[in-house]
């Protein structure tokens, strides 16, 4: 399966607006995807994940069977290096192309009330690698914060200009960057859902060379109440 995945990624081209990102459809063979979907549908031991209500996850140290095999075939050094090469120009801007990183993985599920406002992602992430699985119509909203030629850093000013549609077996990748203004977010679902996604990140082993706040000018962490919701 790894060779199939590599070919799918190699054949995909970067989309440059509103910021550089990669979309890879039919990431894994359909037979393996169906097996993965069936296995995930039976899981129940999800725990709170992130500071935002409505998102839960199972970390990769608890993955078994199809998930464990996916981890071996997709989240390895070959795929990591292939993705880094795709985003070489963006990583060079950040001075992180040659930096060492490790996969950090969560099988996440978002309930209908989950949402996250426009943000850039943390500079500790070399790449953000999201694998859409099933259960949703809500994709990832893409924003610009350019207003009359001025790049703002107030996340509340960002305006939506596009969306990576949620599609089963679709990979969405980008290089979080203050330079490329990678504003993105997830809107609240208008319908009941359980949105299954593998949240994959290449986490830098050392502190990032260039720092910024995920929210740009402000941090919203202190404004959020402590989570009390349960899966």
pLDDT of 3-58, one tens digit each? 999 999 999 999 999 999 999 999 999 999 999 999 999 999 999 999 999 999 99
Q: What percent of the chain has pLDDT over 90?
A: 92
Is the pTM for the entire model greater than 0.85?
Answer: yes
d(CA 196, CA 102): 22
Q: What is the mean pLDDT of residues 122-150?
A: 97
Structure confidence at residue 24 (pLDDT): 98
How much is the average pLDDT of 181-203?
A: 96
Q: Is 94 exposed, middle or buried (0-12, 13-18, 19+ CB in 10 A)?
A: buried
Element (H, E) at 6: helix 2-11
Q: What is the pLDDT of residue 225?
A: 78
Confidence of residue 226 (pLDDT cuts 50, 70, 90): confident
Is 223 a residue whose pLDDT tops 80? no
Straight-line distance from the first to the last Cα atom of the chain, in angstroms, rounded to the nearest whole number? 32
pLDDT at 220 over 80: no
Average pLDDT for residues 190-194, to the nearest whole number?
91
Q: With b meaning 16 or more CB within 10 Å and e meaning fewer, what string describes 27-46? A: bbeeebbebbbeebeeeeeb
Cα–Cα dist 229/54, whole Å: 7
Query: What digits encode the pLDDT tens for the residues 104-135?
Result: 999 999 999 999 999 999 999 999 999 999 99
Alpha helical stretches, state H, 42-157: 65-74, 77-86, 88-93
Task: Evaluate whether 15 touches 182 at the Cβ level (below 8 Å).
Answer: no
Of 138-152, 186-200, 209-223, the one with minimum mean pLDDT is 209-223
For the packed helices 77-86 and 2-11, what is the interaxial angle rounded to 10 degrees? 0
pLDDT in the model for residue 120:
97
Q: Chain-wide mean pLDDT for the chain?
A: 96
What CATH code would you report for 2-218? 2.60.120.620
> Domain ranges in the chain?
2-218
């Amino acid at each position: 399966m790894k060779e199939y995945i590599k070919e799918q990624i190699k054949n995909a081209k970067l989309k440059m607006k509103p910021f550089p990102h990669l979309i890879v459809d039919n990431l894994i063979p359909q037979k393996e995807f169906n097996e993965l979907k069936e296995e995930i549908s039976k899981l129940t031991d999800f725990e709170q994940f992130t500071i935002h209500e409505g998102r839960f996850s199972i970390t990769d140290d608890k993955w078994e069977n199809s998930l464990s095999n996916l981890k071996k075939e997709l989240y390895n050094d070959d795929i990591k290096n292939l993705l880094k090469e795709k985003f070489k120009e963006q990583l060079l801007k950040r001075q992180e192309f040659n930096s060492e990183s490790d996969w950090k993985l969560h099988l996440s599920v978002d309930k209908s009330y989950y949402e996250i406002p426009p943000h850039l992602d943390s500079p500790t992430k070399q790449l953000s690698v999201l694998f859409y699985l099933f259960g949703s119509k809500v994709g990832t909203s893409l924003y610009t914060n350019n207003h009359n030629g001025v790049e703002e850093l107030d996340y509340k000013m960002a305006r939506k200009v596009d969306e990576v549609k949620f599609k089963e077996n679709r990979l969405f990748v980008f290089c979080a960057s203050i330079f490329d203004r990678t504003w993105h977010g997830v809107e609240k679902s208008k319908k009941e859902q359980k949105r299954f996604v593998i949240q994959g990140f290449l986490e830098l082993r050392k502190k990032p060379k260039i720092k910024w706040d995920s929210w740009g000018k402000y941090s919203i962490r202190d404004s959020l109440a402590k989570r009390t919701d349960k899966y």
